[in-house]
Amino acid sequence: MQFLFPVPASSIVTQSFAEHVHRAKVNNWTNYNGGIDWAVSSGSPIAAAQDGTVSAVRNDATGYGTHVRIQHAEGYLTIYAHLMDFNVRVGDKVKAGQVIGRSDNTGNSTGPHLHFELRKNNVAVDPAPLLTTFLPAGGEPGGGMPGGGQPGGGMPGGGMPGGGQPGPGGETPGGEIPIGEEPQSFPSLPRARVISNIGLNVRMGPGVSHPIVGWLPPETLVEVLRKADAESVVGSGGAASDLWLQIGHQQFIAQRVGGDVLAVWLALPPAAPKPKRRRKKTV
Ligand SMILES: [Zn+2]
User: CA–CA distance from 232 to each of 150, 180, 191, 202, 235 (Å)?
Assistant: 39, 21, 21, 16, 5
User: Is the domain of 105 the same as that of 178?
Assistant: no
Quote the distance between the C-alpha of residue 280 and its chain's center.
Answer: 28
> What's the CA-to-centroid distance between 34 and ligand 1, angstroms?
7
Is the per-residue pLDDT at 94 higher than 60? yes
Write down which residue in 116, 132, 148 finishes a domain: 132
Does residue 142 form part of some domain?
no
Distance from residue 98's CA to the centre of ligand 1 (Å): 22
Alpha helices in 147-272 (DSSP H): 230-235
Contact of 245 with 165, CB cutoff 8 Å: no
Q: Indicate if 44 and 86 belong to the same structural domain.
A: yes
Report the alpha-carbon distance of residue 49 to residue 5 in Å, rounded: 6
pLDDT band at 83 (very low <50, low <70, confident <90, very high): very high
Is 21 in the same domain as 122? yes
- In-domain check, residue 274: no
In this structure, are residues 194 and 128 in contact, taking their beta carbons and an 8 Å threshold? no
CA of 14 to the centre of ligand 1 (A): 8
Whether pLDDT at 231 is above 60: no
Nearest to 44 by CA among 93, 95, 80, 70: 80
Q: Are residues 98 and 182 in the same domain?
A: no
Average pLDDT, the chain: 74
What is the model's pLDDT at position 209? 78
Domain finish residue from 110, 132, 154: 132
Last residue of a domain, one of 132, 154, 176: 132
CA of 79 relative to ligand 1 center, distance in Å: 11
Ligand 1 mean position to 17 CA, how many Å?
Answer: 8
In terms of residues, how long is the chain? Answer: 283
In a domain, 112, yes or no: yes
* Ligand 1 centroid from CA 112, angstroms: 11
Distance in angstroms (rounded) separating the CA atoms of residues 167 and 170:
6
**Measuring CA to CA, which residue among 59, 91, 60, 64 is closest to residue 80?**
64
Which CATH number does the domain housing residue 190 bear?
A: 2.30.30.40
User: How many angstroms does the Cα of residue 35 sit away from the middle of ligand 1?
Assistant: 6
Q: How far is the CA of 146 from the centre of ligand 1 (A)?
A: 30
pTM > 0.85: no
| Same domain membership, residue 46 and residue 106 | yes
**167 and 128 co-located in one domain:** no
For 95-121, the pLDDT digits (tens) are: 999 999 999 999 888 788 999 999 999
Q: Distance from the CA of 89 to the center of ligand 1, in angstroms? A: 23
Same domain as 170, residue 127: no
Quick: pLDDT tens for 187-220: 444 678 888 888 888 888 888 778 888 888 888 8
Burial class (CB in 10 A: 0-12, 13-18, 19+), 9: exposed
Q: Average pLDDT for residues 114-136, to the nearest whole number?
A: 87
pLDDT category, 283, cuts 50, 70, 90? low
Both 27 and 122 in a single domain?
Answer: yes
Ligand 1: centre distance to CA 87 (Å): 22
- Report the half-sphere exposure of 128 (CA within 13 A, side-chain side): 25
Residue 237 Cα to ligand 1 midpoint, Å, equals: 17
Residues 221 and 117 in one domain: no
CATH number at residue 55: 2.70.70.10
Within a domain: residue 279?
no
- Are residue 16 and residue 124 in the same domain, yes or no? yes
Please tell me the distance between residue 153's alpha carbon and the centre of ligand 1 in angstroms: 23
How far away, in angstroms, is 127 Cα from ligand 1 center? 12
Question: Does residue 145 or residue 203 have the better pLDDT?
Answer: 203
CA of 275 to the centre of ligand 1 (A): 51
Strands 131-132 vs 3-4: parallel, antiparallel or unpaired: parallel
The domain in which residue 193 lies consists of 162-266
Inter-residue contact 233 to 249 (CB < 8 Å):
no
Distance 171 CA to ligand 1 centre (A): 31
- What's the gap in Å between 276 CA and the centre of ligand 1? 49
Looking at the 3D structure of the chain, how many domains does it have? 2
Reply yes or no on whether the pLDDT at 152 is more than 50.
no
Question: Is 224 among the domain residues?
Answer: yes
Measured on CA atoms in the order 141, 143, 145, 151, is the torsion positive or negative? negative
Q: Domain for residue 137, yes or no?
A: no
Q: Calculate how far, in angstroms, residue 38's C-alpha sits from the geometric centre of ligand 1.
A: 8
Is 84 inside a domain boundary?
A: yes
Q: Answer whether residue 138 is part of any domain.
A: no
Please tell me the distance between residue 251's alpha carbon and the centre of ligand 1 in angstroms. Answer: 23
Question: Is it the case that residue 56 has pLDDT exceeding 90?
Answer: yes
Tell me the mean pLDDT in the region 133-151.
44
Same domain, 98 and 19: yes
Residues 208 and 115 in one domain: no
From residue 87, give the alpha-carbon distance in Å to each of 54, 92, 122, 197.
11, 10, 24, 30
